[in-house]
Amino acid sequence: MKTFRTTSVFFVLTLLFFSCKKDESQTIERDLWLRHQGAEMPVWVRGNLASGKLILFLHGGPGDCAMCYRHYLRGLETDVAVAYWDQRMAGSSSGKVDPKTLTYAQFGEDAALVVNLLRQEFPAAEIHLLAHSYGVELAWQFLTTGDNQKLVRSLVVVNGTFSTYRWLYQIREWGLREARAQGKTETVAYLLANPVTAENVLTYDWQRLERTVHELGANPVSVYADKRFLLHYAFASPNTALAQFTHFKHYGEWSRNEMMRFDKSALLGSIRIPVGLFWGKKDGVVPYEISGETAALLTGTTTREVVFEDSWHEPFLTETDRFVREVLRFVK
């Protein structure tokens, strides 16, 4: 009986030892760097690489950061690996970057290099894109260039647009609905007097429109408006926490010359990889109607819409657990 107990204890300890070893082998923590066209861009890889799946997070902005949002996305890391990439002149990236390189073409080229870097370092992993806000525009730029679609398995769109014109059009529509509901007669008058058309989009005062919808509550729960989120946002980046705020000043020329001309409407029909459309339904920054417009243009692939009824522009902040579950469900 004593021998049996000793053997049993040894067997249990052996199982625990190998279980621990297995868990360790599943977890990866790698810091990579991409140096290109003057930019030195970090790519932090964290999570379960043994899953065979790696999600590349394309942050918004432009000029925002990736690791700043890890607090809300790290739930993914138990099941898959996540690559957090700070784009050129964003977050913890550095180098001598010429502001003239802040173009969609350059960002798309950078994204292709990051994907290829990940494929080189982790050849057994399939790569999925998780894109938020401006990161969605970057995703469309990347996917509609050359054969880049062949490099990744799927895309999750989170509250982002495919066209500046359609974005501004829907922002104004959202603003009109909210202004009327709130009895803001002066705001209603301003919005009625300033329609968004395909003809005037290049000269439209988008900054005033954006200020107007924010005054109406376009995104009341965000990293900038809520101290709980701001603390996680500011202290999650491994480099200088507030570095990204110094980058925004360089994007004036980008907004005038690049953003106002952005439109991938005619190219979305060429997308062949599965696309998830994840939306905070209350969002006034990139209104929910853009999700339906996007789905209608994706005629060459399958789409799945996931609506977060209690969220605005960043559903991973306000419905974190469900967001993580839905992303994992989609990529699996």
Consecutive sets of 10 residues in the chain, 332 residues long: mean pLDDT of each? 37 35 65 92 96 96 87 96 92 83 93 98 97 97 98 98 98 98 98 97 95 96 74 64 58 73 97 98 98 98 98 96 98 94
- What distances in angstroms separate CA 65 from CA 45, 175, 178, 233, 288, one per listed residue? 14, 28, 30, 9, 24
Token pair, residue 80, equals 């898959």
Q: Which of 282, 277, 329 is nearest to 302 (CA)?
A: 277
pLDDT at 208: 97
Scan for tokens 């700070």, then name that residue.
86
Token pair, residue 317, equals 């902040």
- Can you name the residues that pair with 53 across neighbouring β-strands? 126
* 86 touches 65 (CB < 8 A): yes
What number of residues does the chain have? 332
* 171 touches 210 (CB < 8 A): yes
pLDDT at 19: 36
pLDDT at 120: 97
Token pair, residue 2, equals 């004593």
Q: What's the CA gap between 274 and 8, in Å, rounded?
A: 49
Q: What's the CA gap between 180 and 69, in Å, rounded?
A: 34
3-state secondary structure of 279: strand
* 306 touches 279 (CB < 8 A): yes
* 42 touches 33 (CB < 8 A): yes
Q: CB under 8 Å to 328, separation ≥6 — which residues?
A: 76, 79, 80
Q: What's the CA gap between 252 and 103, in Å, rounded?
A: 12
Angle between helices 134-143 and 104-121 (to 10 degrees): 80
This prediction has a pTM of: 0.89
Would residue 217 be called left, alpha or beta, if left means φ above 0 and alpha means ψ between -120 and 50 degrees?
A: left
pLDDT at 99: 84
Q: What's the CA gap between 266 and 170, in Å, rounded?
A: 18
Token pair, residue 24, equals 């360790």
What is the H or E stretch that residue 57 is in?
Answer: strand 53-58
Q: Which of 162, 121, 160 is nearest to 278 (CA)?
A: 160
Domains of the chain from N-terminus onward: 27-163+221-331 (3.40.50.1820), 164-218 (no CATH)
Q: What's the CA gap between 268 and 299, in Å, rounded?
A: 8
Query: Which amino acid is it at 284?
Result: G
pLDDT at 315: 97
Query: Which amino acid is it at 252?
Result: G
Scan for tokens 């974005």, then name that residue.
167
Q: Helices H, strands E: what count in the chain?
A: 12, 9
* 218 touches 283 (CB < 8 A): yes
Q: Count the Cβ atoms, other than its own, within 10 Å of residue 267.
A: 15
pLDDT at 253: 64
pLDDT at 254: 61
